[in-house]
């Protein structure tokens, strides 16, 4: 089997340290045309920010499912070449100088700020990238294990397919999960840098409003079904020297009913205003036009679907894409009418440090 046809997902659930590897080498991942088509499906899902012919939803049906670090490391030893940085140019991205990225971000920020001030937008998330030269073959699995050690409370995933190329993410954001007849999603937004590794004692109006917009969106989308959820007051969460506000939503739904509806629920939720904006359609169009590089699988989501009656999806944030001779790192932040360009740029800088720290260690 040609090396380029290998697909895999190496991932760790938040907190518990359990690591799993799904490895597929005899067939290509299944291409799914729309989120609703995930109803009654099983496998490992890799979904983009915007579904298109270039960035399809992919469903892995692995021949190998390994659990536990000893078993996985032994397997990696037999497939070492598959986890050395792949030279595949799938969805290749150009190397961009920082000055060009800053200028493009500045221009985009001013455009959306004008629209926000004119009440044509309520909120939008602007993302940017940074490019890092890579003159040596990086071992993707080593980066993954570094991320697991550095960010134990995050969902860490390394995935590769011939359609996507190789991506690494260490994300704090759950999109949707289901276990034991209970479903769970969250509204996660607002960011404060923890310069002394302590939780902030006060949040400004911008961060509080930004998070509330996500709460209102999720509540309205769940009510479409209708789904009555238990909603908890926002709490502070910490990860990677950043703090966020998080609101938990729980709703009871039996296994079979969830399995039959999961694609529709995902279609209603994704992308939330935590990664996109309000109104959703207008925000997605602006993001595609204004951002320096296409998001591809950044701010999409990955995770297991109906495997051992478990479903867990996490948003692909704090991530990088491996290229042939450079890495592309992504980060974004929510823009509201009161946002200031310098502070928003600095927020993305802090988020980019999460992936940068793995490369330099």
E strands, the chain, where? Answer: 7-12, 19-24, 30-32, 43-47, 57-60, 64-67, 123-133, 155-161, 165-171, 174-179, 182-193, 230-231, 235-239, 242-252, 277-278, 301-307, 310-315, 319-322, 326-335
* pLDDT score of 196: 61
* pLDDT score of 101: 97
The region, left, alpha or beta by phi > 0 then psi within -120 to 50, assigned to residue 131 is beta
* pLDDT score of 325: 87
* pLDDT score of 360: 73
What distance in Å separates the CA atoms of residue 350 and residue 60, rounded to the nearest whole number? 33
* pLDDT score of 243: 92
Domains of the chain plus CATH, in order, are 3-360 (3.60.120.10)
CB 282 within 8 A of CB 246: no
* pLDDT score of 2: 46
* pLDDT score of 359: 87
Q: What is the pLDDT along the chain (361 residues), one digit of tens a residue?
A: 444 589 999 999 998 778 999 999 999 999 999 999 999 999 999 999 999 999 999 999 999 999 999 999 999 998 887 776 555 568 899 999 999 999 999 999 999 999 999 999 999 999 999 999 986 677 889 999 999 999 999 999 999 999 999 999 999 999 999 999 999 999 999 999 876 666 666 899 999 999 999 999 999 999 988 888 999 999 999 877 889 999 999 999 999 999 999 999 999 999 999 999 999 999 999 999 999 999 999 999 999 999 999 999 999 999 999 988 899 999 999 999 999 999 999 999 999 999 999 987 5
Residues 6 or more apart whose CB falls under 8 angstroms from that of 114 comprise: none
What distance in Å separates the CA atoms of residue 43 and residue 311, rounded to the nearest whole number? 10
3-state secondary structure of 117: helix
What distance in Å separates the CA atoms of residue 136 and residue 146, rounded to the nearest whole number? 17
* pLDDT score of 139: 85
* pLDDT score of 48: 98
* pLDDT score of 82: 78
The torsion angle over the Cα atoms of residues 33, 34, 39 and 42, rounded to 10 degrees, is 50
* pLDDT score of 138: 77
What distance in Å separates the CA atoms of residue 339 and residue 126, rounded to the nearest whole number? 12
What are the phi and psi torsion angles at 262 (to 5°)?
A: -60, -40
Burial 86-111 (b: 16+ CB within 10 A, else e): bebebbebeebeeeebeebbeebbee
């Amino acid at each position: 089997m040609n090396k380029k046809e290998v697909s895999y997902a190496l991932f760790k659930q938040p907190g518990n340290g359990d690591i799993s590897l799904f490895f597929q080498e005899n067939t290509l991942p299944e291409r799914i045309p729309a989120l609703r088509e995930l109803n009654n499906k099983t496998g490992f899902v890799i979904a983009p920010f915007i579904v298109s012919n270039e960035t399809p939803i992919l469903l892995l049906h692995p021949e190998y499912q390994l659990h536990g670090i000893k078993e996985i490391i032994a397997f990696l030893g037999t497939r070492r070449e598959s986890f050395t940085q792949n030279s595949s140019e799938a969805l290749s991205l150009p190397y961009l100088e920082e000055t060009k990225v800053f200028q493009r971000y500045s221009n985009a920020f001013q455009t959306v700020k004008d629209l926000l001030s004119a009440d044509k937008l309520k909120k939008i998330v602007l993302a940017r990238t940074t490019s890092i030269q890579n003159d040596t073959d990086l071992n993707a699995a080593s980066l993954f294990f570094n991320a697991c050690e550095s960010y134990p409370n995050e969902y860490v995933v390394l995935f590769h397919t011939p359609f996507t190329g190789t991506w690494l993410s260490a994300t704090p954001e759950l999109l949707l999960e289901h276990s034991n007849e209970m479903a769970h999603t969250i509204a996660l937004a607002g960011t404060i840098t923890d310069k002394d590794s302590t939780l902030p004692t006060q949040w400004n109006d911008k961060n509080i409003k930004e998070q509330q917009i996500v709460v209102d969106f999720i509540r309205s989308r769940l009510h479409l079904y209708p789904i009555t959820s238990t909603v908890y007051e926002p709490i502070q969460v910490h990860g990677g020297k950043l703090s966020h506000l998080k609101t938990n939503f729980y709703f009871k739904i039996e296994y079979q009913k969830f399995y039959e509806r999961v694609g529709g629920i995902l279609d209603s939720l994704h992308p939330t205003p935590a990664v996109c904006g309000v109104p959703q359609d207008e925000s997605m169009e602006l993001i595609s036009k204004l951002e320096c590089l296409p998001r591809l699988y950044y701010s999409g989501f990955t995770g297991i679907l109906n495997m051992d009656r478990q479903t867990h999806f996490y948003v692909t944030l704090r991530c990088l894409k491996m290229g042939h001779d450079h890495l592309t790192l992504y980060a974004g932040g929510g823009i509201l009418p009161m946002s200031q360009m310098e502070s928003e740029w600095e927020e993305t800088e802090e988020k980019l440090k999460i992936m940068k720290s793995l490369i330099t260690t």
